[in-house]
Copies of this chain bind each other. A is one copy, B any other.
Amino acid sequence: MDECKVIIMGFGSVGQGVANALSMKKDLIKDKTGVSVKVVAAADSSSSAISQDGLDEELLVKTKKEEGKLAAYPEFGSDKSGLDVLDAVEYDCLIEATPTNIVDAQPALSLTLKAFEQGKDVVTSNKGHLALKFKEIVGAAEEAGVEFKYEASVGGSMPIINFTRDTLASCEIKSIKGILNGTTNYILSRMTSEGSDYEVILKESQELGIAETDPTQDVEGIDAACKTVILANSLLGIDATYSDVKVEGISNINSQAIELAKKDDYLIKLIAEVSPENLQVSPRLIKRGSSYDVSGTLNMATIKTDLADEVSVIGLGAGSLETASAMLTDLISILKNKN
Name A residues whose Cβ lies closer than 8 Å to a Cβ of B. 21, 24-25, 28-29, 32, 151, 157-159, 162-163, 166-172, 288-289, 291, 293-295, 305-316, 319, 321-322, 324-326, 328-329, 331-333
How far, in angstroms, from A279 to B24 measured CA to CA in the complex?
28
Q: A166-B166, A170-B328, A329-B168 are in contact. Are A157 and B311 (CB under 8 A)?
A: yes
Residues of chain B with a CB closer than 8 A to A291's CB: 294, 314
Residue from A163, A294, A295, A308 having most chain B Cβ neighbours under 10 A:
A308
How far, in angstroms, from A289 to B314 measured CA to CA in the complex?
14
Interface of A is mostly: mixed
Q: A162-B166, A289-B288 are in contact. Are A157 and B21 (CB under 8 A)?
A: no
How far, in angstroms, from A331 to B322 measured CA to CA in the complex?
31
Residues of chain B with a CB closer than 8 A to A168's CB: 159, 325, 329
Is the pair A21, B325 in contact by a Cβ cutoff of 8 Å?
no
Min CB–CB distance A307 → chain B (angstroms): 4
Residues of chain B with a CB closer than 8 A to A328's CB: 169-170, 307
Q: Which residue of B lies closest to A160 (CB)?
A: B167
Is the pair A308, B326 in contact by a Cβ cutoff of 8 Å?
yes
Min CB–CB distance A310 → chain B (angstroms): 7
How far, in angstroms, from A287 to B178 measured CA to CA in the complex?
22
Q: Which residue of B lies closest to A166 (CB)?
A: B166
How far, in angstroms, from A126 to B32 measured CA to CA in the complex?
27
Is the pair B316, A315 in contact by a Cβ cutoff of 8 Å?
no
Is the pair A170, B293 in contact by a Cβ cutoff of 8 Å?
no
Residues of chain B with a CB closer than 8 A to A332's CB: 169-170
How far, in angstroms, from A294 to B326 measured CA to CA in the complex?
26
